[in-house]
Chains A and B, each alone.
Chain A
Amino acid sequence: MMPIWTKSGKRHVVTLLKVQDCHVLRYISKEESGGKTSKLLVGGKNVSPFHKSESAMEIFREAGVPGKQKVTTFNVTDDAIIKPGTPLYAAHFRPGQVVDVTAKTIGKGFQGVMKRWGFKGQPASHGQTKTHRRPGAISTNKASKVYRGKKMPGKMGNIYRTSFGLKVWRINTKHDIIYVNGSVPGHRNCLVKVKDSKLPTYKDCNKNPPFPTFFADGDEELPEDLYDKEVFQFTEPSLTYS
């Protein structure tokens, strides 16, 4: 996480996400998947094929791509279908876009009710007998049962969670890095899924994105760093207010 300053002098914090060997693996049509839209399977980081099962390696072999650590699905409209085997780069996103980031949260193991659900617990002194971090009552007398989904101690973390509405401040095309506003779920160097935002306020944020994706062998020559227009670039002199 890094600080970033805007031209008005405001400071924001940014998370760096690296796009590491992403390839499109398979196209699943609407009828085949049974959903409302067609799907594209995308694979993440390269790993050795010796630790993957045969069934998993089949998909990679079909696409002609080395084994990937993670495979995710993206729901895609029919005009945005990409041929399996194309690499995906960070330039697929542009600065100014708003993005949702999904990842597995940091696993905390088996945790008590105070840390997991934020219960208040009991006082430390004034006669409490062996009761300082317990949940207390779990149901009423009338119910005479414990409702399903009652907040109790258990395994915390290591589940998929999404941060919505994160603005993209900067893209580095040379190293394929996306600078995304704020924090993102997951530990350092974990695998993360970046999608266009589903929030209704940012529906019209994306003007002229590279459609269906950014092709490296195309005619477009992008500069090494793409900045949002608000971002203060360090090549400019210090800020002054008038």
Chain B
Amino acid sequence: SCRISSDGKPAKFQPPPKPVIVDKQKQREERRFLSPEFIPPRGRTDPLKFYMERKDMIQRRKVFNIPEFYVGHVLAVTTAEPSASEKSSRFVGICIQRAGKGLGATFTLRNVIEDQGVEICFELYNPRIQAIEVLKLEKRLDEHLLYLRDALPEYSSFDVNMKPVSHLDHDEIPVNKLQVRMKPKPWSKRWERPKYNIKGIKFELPEKKMKEAQKWSQPWLEFDMLREYDTSKLEEKIWKEVSEELKK
């Protein structure tokens, strides 16, 4: 039986509250990724040169898919090799650094194969590369992982026949806060020094050494105005240009 309010009349129908639909597709479009090699370096070069390079890069991207990847992702690259038996070779490894700007941009993959650490530097726009697959998506705490050369080999070894880990497009790329354990010193570089600003190493050095390393800190560097290079407006323009060209 219907409810009767204090007036005696039947209560007005109150519809249930509308559910809030969070459209994850729209949220994903807000996240833009512009590959770092599109951003021109600071210098007195004519912007026409960067424009010509960008045209070539976009042309290559239309034909060959270069996925979005960061330092710390595990990639598999197949290259055309004239001396190999099947005329192609596949290398799996973790991306330790992305260097270079423009067409000469490179990325280095590291893996440990039969107890031998191997690093191969590939050029992103080299026409001999036949496929780049992202096997595992994860960002790390640092911009480069060169310290993996002095870390225990288990952190650089990845299975060559690893299956790609599934990842949904709209999810944020997870950041792996792994702290890597190092081999005993001497290292190739003194990673504890503040100039490298490494956050992904578990330093098992005595307190005295860590304090001594802070002697080389340069706290004035972050306030140096001549070193500032604000790329936000450049990035916006280049992002618009690149996305419009790629949609065609």
List residues of A whose CB falls within 8 A of some B CB.
2-3, 5, 9, 11, 16, 18, 172, 175, 177, 188-189, 232, 234-242
Closest to A233 in B: B59
Question: Could you show 13 A-B contacts with beta carbons less than 8 Å apart?
Answer: A5-B126, A5-B128, A9-B80, A11-B126, A175-B52, A188-B45, A234-B56, A234-B59, A238-B127, A238-B129, A239-B80, A240-B88, A241-B81
Is B114 close to A, CB under 8 A? no
Closest to B87 in A: A241
Q: Which residues of A contact B88 (CB under 8 A)?
A: 240
Is B176 close to A, CB under 8 A? no
Is B138 close to A, CB under 8 A? no
Bound Cα distance from A128 to B65, whole angstroms = 61
Q: Nearest-CB distance from A237 to chain B (Å)?
A: 6
The interface residues of chain B, by DSSP majority, are classed as mixed
Bound Cα distance from A139 to B125, whole angstroms = 55
**Besides A3-B103, A9-B127, A189-B46, 16 other CB < 8 A contacts?**
A2-B104, A5-B126, A18-B46, A172-B52, A177-B52, A188-B45, A189-B45, A234-B56, A234-B127, A238-B127, A238-B128, A238-B129, A239-B80, A240-B87, A240-B130, A241-B80
Q: Which residues of B contact A240 (CB under 8 A)?
A: 80, 87-88, 130
List residues of B whose CB falls within 8 A of some A CB.
43-46, 48-49, 52-53, 56, 59-60, 63-64, 80-82, 87-88, 102-104, 123, 125-130
Q: Nearest-CB distance from A111 to chain B (Å)?
A: 23
For the complex of A and B, the 8 pairs showing the least CB-CB separation, nearest first, are A234-B59, A234-B60, A241-B82, A241-B87, A239-B127, A238-B130, A3-B104, A232-B127
Contact A9 B45 (CB under 8 A): no
Q: Which residues of B contact A5 (CB under 8 A)?
A: 126-128
Q: Nearest-CB distance from B84 to chain A (Å)?
A: 9
Bound Cα distance from A227 to B81, whole angstroms = 25
Closest to A14 in B: B103
Q: Which residues of A contact B103 (CB under 8 A)?
A: 2-3
Q: Which residues of A contact B48 (CB under 8 A)?
A: 18, 175, 177
Closest to A237 in B: B63
Bound Cα distance from A234 to B59, whole angstroms = 6
Bound Cα distance from A46 to B127, whole angstroms = 39
Q: Which residues of A contact B123 (CB under 8 A)?
A: 3, 11
Contact A238 B53 (CB under 8 A): no
Q: Which residues of A contact B49 (CB under 8 A)?
A: 2, 16
Q: Which residues of B contact A18 (CB under 8 A)?
A: 46, 48
Bound Cα distance from A108 to B17, whole angstroms = 77
Contact A16 B52 (CB under 8 A): yes
With A16-B52, A172-B52, A240-B87 as contacts: A9 and B128 at CB distance below 8 Å:
yes
Q: Nearest-CB distance from B27 to chain A (Å)?
A: 33
Q: Nearest-CB distance from A136 to chain B (Å)?
A: 39
